[in-house]
Amino acid sequence: MKEVNLNTGGSSYRISTGRSIVFAENQFHDLLSKKDRVAVIVSSRILELYDSRIKGIFRSYNNCDFFPMKDGEENKNYKYAEKFLNDLLSGGYSRNSAIVGIGGGVTGDFAGFIASVYMRGISLIHVPTTLLAMVDSSIGGKVAVNISAGKNIVGSFYQPEMVLSDTDFIQTLPENEFKNGITEVLKHAIIGEEKLLTILEENNLKSLRESDNVEAIVYLSALFKAKVVEKDEKEGGLRAILNFGHTVGHAIESLLEYKTISHGEAVAIGLLVESEISERIGWLTEQEKRRVADLISKYDLIYNKYKVKTNDILEHMKYDKKNTAGKINFVLLKGLNNPVYNQNVDIDLLKDVLGNLIF
């Protein structure tokens, strides 16, 4: 097992990565044994696959309830959050209760949001079960739910007390879900973690899924993101680099109502668009841009075609939380591993790049 310690101004916790670390031993005892109630918000799919093993982990804790949650961004909504909060209240949950989120990014974001607002904040543990959640959403304390206008509009910064990334879960992860995670790994490789770029270029989809490689990319991504978050917990500056590809990606997800496109595909499109813009303004070389595009193609990170209009994408970009003074802010690249945040892009250039790359 490898560990990364993340220290922010107000909290400190460990991010553990390894095989069978959830099922092999009880990692939760010190925290959960002191709680009066435990709510386990768990992906319905994960509960189907690991029902007896997951329930066995929490058998020793009194007053432990399981709340299955359907996957899909459309289920991570504010209306469902209100219902869930009422269920906790009627179930007798207090400020001395805890929430454990077991699942992908949707489950983790939702569980984190509930923990952050219930009784002004209760204990939270993340057990990510997808590659995407392990390398990205479970780390750093961003928690949120969606509203119709956009993704993650309602949320907060709320750090967990523990993150356990058990790579055994990857064995049952569908291929397209694995690709979603690779997109975020590629993002980290592009904006600062060169070792990840080497791993991606030296492997393929099959070999990358082997246990040693999975553990390496999860650990390196966690280490990289933790370093960024420690310097800027609440995205006042440097942390914005982690949004590379997401300005376009989130707009497309919102436009398509989170139903017909995966987060990984949307962000992969964003990586292409924002790399192309960087090259067009002379910051990124043609060769560097090609390395990004080749890896997206190599791992088949955009595996469907989508009919969307440029103006509709631009309309949804207006709701992006990173915007200031009515201007759309982008993360661009002054070369690989040299991201620059809060960059405004000429609207005609943006329209041209979107039109050429998406249609």
Choosing from 177, 235, 253, 279, which is the catalytic residue? 235
Are residue 275 and residue 338 in the same domain, yes or no? yes
Are residue 167 and residue 183 in the same domain, yes or no? no
Choosing from 250, 289, 291, 316, which is the catalytic residue? 250
pTM, entire model: 0.91
Choosing from 73, 243, 265, 289, which is the catalytic residue? 243
Are residue 43 and residue 183 in the same domain, yes or no? no
Q: At what angle do helices 175-191 and 211-231 cross, to 10 degrees?
A: 50
Q: Residue 120, SS3?
A: helix
Return d(Cα 123, Cα 14) in angstroms, integer: 14
Structure tokens at 319: 């709701």
Query: Any catalytic annotation for residue 45?
Result: no
Are residue 52 and residue 144 in the same domain, yes or no? yes
Query: Any catalytic annotation for residue 315?
Result: no
Query: Any catalytic annotation for residue 120?
Result: yes
For 249, half-sphere exposure in the C-beta direction (CA atoms, 13 angstrom radius) is: 25
Query: Any catalytic annotation for residue 239?
Result: yes
pLDDT of residue 324: 60
Choosing from 225, 289, 291, 316, which is the catalytic residue? 225
Query: Any catalytic annotation for residue 177?
Result: no
Are residue 232 and residue 339 in the same domain, yes or no? yes
Beta strands in the chain (DSSP E): 2-7, 12-18, 38-43, 64-69, 98-103, 123-128, 142-147, 150-157, 162-166, 329-333, 339-344
Which of 137, 172, 207 marks a domain boundary? 172
Choosing from 263, 289, 291, 316, which is the catalytic residue? 263
Query: Any catalytic annotation for residue 126?
Result: no
Structure tokens at 302: 């955009």
Q: Are 101 and 28 in contact (CB under 8 A)?
A: no
Are residue 154 and residue 53 in the same domain, yes or no? yes
Task: Give the domain extent around 226.
Answer: 175-358
Query: Any catalytic annotation for residue 225?
Result: yes
Are residue 227 and residue 314 in the same domain, yes or no? yes
Ranges under pLDDT 70 in the chain = 25, 319-327, 358-359
pLDDT of residue 61: 83
Beta bridge partners of residue 66, listed in sequence order: 40
Sequence letter at residue 206? K
Choosing from 35, 142, 151, 187, which is the catalytic residue? 142
pLDDT of residue 275: 97
Q: Are 81 and 107 in contact (CB under 8 A)?
A: no
Are residue 27 and residue 10 in the same domain, yes or no? yes
**The CATH number of the domain where 60 resides is what?**
3.40.50.1970
Choosing from 187, 246, 289, 316, which is the catalytic residue? 246
Are residue 216 and residue 159 in the same domain, yes or no? no
Choosing from 19, 37, 188, 239, which is the catalytic residue? 239
Query: Any catalytic annotation for residue 142?
Result: yes
pLDDT of residue 180: 95
- Report the chain's mean pLDDT, rounded to a whole number: 91
Q: Considering its fold, how many domains does the chain have in total? A: 2
User: CB within 8 A of 246, min separation 6: which ones?
Assistant: 267, 270, 331
Are residue 192 and residue 143 in the same domain, yes or no? no
Choosing from 177, 184, 233, 265, which is the catalytic residue? 184
pLDDT of residue 12: 92
Query: Any catalytic annotation for residue 235?
Result: yes
Structure tokens at 35: 């709680």
Are residue 220 and residue 332 in the same domain, yes or no? yes
Query: Any catalytic annotation for residue 263?
Result: yes
pLDDT of residue 235: 84
Q: Residue 190, SS3?
A: helix
User: CB within 8 A of 59, min separation 6: which ones?
Assistant: none
Q: How far is CA 117 from CA 89, 108, 152, in A?
A: 12, 14, 15
Which of 172, 201, 232 marks a domain boundary? 172
Are residue 119 and residue 187 in the same domain, yes or no? no
**The CATH number of the domain where 180 resides is what?**
1.20.1090.10
Distance between the two ends of the chain, CA-based, in angstroms? 45
Which of 172, 200, 220 marks a domain boundary? 172
